[in-house]
Amino acid sequence: MMNRCCPAAASATPGGCLAFGAMLVCLVLQGCASMDTAREAPLELSVTLNHPQYHIGDPVVATVRLSNVSPHTVIVPRLDEATLEFMTGGRGMKTRVHRTPVVSDQVVPEPRELGRGTATSRRFLFTRATARHGEFALMAAFKGAFSDGDVLPDTIYAQPVPFTVTQEVALKRDPANGHVLKSQALELARRTAKGEVHDAQAILVHLENSGLVTWVVTLRVTQPDGKERRYAVQVDPYVGRVRRLELVDPEREQPRLQQANGRTRVYRAGPVDDVLAK
């Protein structure tokens, strides 16, 4: 009688068939076990946002946390745009847009050793994630860590974090680079004036050795007491924060030159948003 327990071994004995079946089950179980092992990432990646809801043009600050959940020590060479990939999309993330964070060239992350159960985190600033209203999500992926000298090939993905962008406009930005527009910088600077503004000029200044820029706005204002004065403010093109600029002695410090109405004044520009200094 034909052996029907395994068509590939029609001539096998019942015992042989049982042995073949046991081996097949063993192989299946081993395959499942190896698949489970492959799915067990040595690291966990998570992302949190500074707000669940934004207006159009608002900056988005994402905090990325990388945790070592393996029993071994893991080396993270750096936690920056070189090892992290950011994407935004609809809530289902069916279509994705790659997002590049604003980073300073002066901040160079150093390799970190993560023992079992430890974690490292860093904040990232995005200026073009809120260009239009709707329901969105931001997600991140990490790759580049190694353990015991071996590169970990797995790409670790964070769960998408949902956020909403309303129809209200907070900041007007250049769609090409995400910088606050010149007209917006002038408007923000005028709001800080205590008195009537007669003249306002803005130029975009490059901050040394950082790869970042800032708006420097000079104002001519008539104060409530009738006196006219000139002063300058710095408008952060990434988050829209306005800060007064300090007049400095060019003989003592490396100056920044600002030409306005035929007069040369020397100012010291402060750092841009502290998120970029982390």
pLDDT digits 0-9 by tens, 121-175: 999 999 999 999 999 999 999 988 887 756 676 789 999 999 999 999 999 999 9
Is residue 62 domain-shared with residue 153, that is, in the same domain?
yes
Residues 32-40, mean pLDDT to the nearest whole number:
41
CA-to-CA dists, residue 65 to 62, 78, 79, 198, 277, angstroms: 10, 13, 10, 48, 17
Is residue 62 domain-shared with residue 124, that is, in the same domain?
yes
pLDDT at 106 (0 to 100)? 79
CATH code of the domain in which 93 resides: 2.60.40.10
* Interval 245-260: pLDDT, tens: 875 544 444 444 443 3
Partner residues linked to 257 by β-bridges:
266
pTM attached to this predicted model: 0.74
Residue 6 lies in a domain: no
Is residue 146 domain-shared with residue 249, that is, in the same domain?
no
Residues 205-213, mean pLDDT to the nearest whole number:
89
Using the predicted structure, report yes or no on whether residue 276 has a pLDDT greater than 50.
no
Is residue 226 domain-shared with residue 159, that is, in the same domain?
no
Residue 38 lies in a domain: no
Any idea of the CA torsion for 74, 80, 85, 86, to the nearest 10 degrees?
Answer: 120
Using the predicted structure, report yes or no on whether residue 200 has a pLDDT greater than 50.
yes
Is residue 62 domain-shared with residue 126, that is, in the same domain?
yes
> In the chain, what is the straight-line distance between the N-terminal and C-terminal CA atoms, in Å?
77
* Interval 80-92: pLDDT, tens: 888 999 999 988 7
Length of the chain: 278
Is residue 138 domain-shared with residue 189, that is, in the same domain?
no
Is residue 47 domain-shared with residue 107, that is, in the same domain?
yes
Residues 200-224, mean pLDDT to the nearest whole number:
91
The token pair that represents 103 in the structure block: 């980073």
Is residue 122 domain-shared with residue 198, that is, in the same domain?
no
Domain termination site, one of 169, 203, 231: 169
Rounded CA-CA distance 177/188 in Å is: 19
Is residue 161 domain-shared with residue 192, that is, in the same domain?
no
Residue 67 lies in a domain: yes
The residue range of the domain holding 260 is 182-270
Is residue 78 domain-shared with residue 111, that is, in the same domain?
yes
Residue 177 lies in a domain: no
Residue 4 lies in a domain: no
* Interval 96-126: pLDDT, tens: 899 999 988 877 778 889 998 999 999 999 9
Using CB atoms within 10 Å of the CB of residue 237, give its burial: 0 to 12 exposed, 13 to 18 middle, 19+ buried: buried
Is residue 59 domain-shared with residue 129, that is, in the same domain?
yes
CA-to-CA dists, residue 75 to 122, 124, 142, 155, angstroms: 16, 21, 13, 15
Rounded CA-CA distance 165/40 in Å is: 35
- Give the residue, 255 or 191, on which the prediction is more confident: 191
Domain count for the chain, please give it. 2
Rounded CA-CA distance 273/64 in Å is: 18
Is residue 76 domain-shared with residue 154, that is, in the same domain?
yes
pLDDT at 42 (0 to 100)? 82
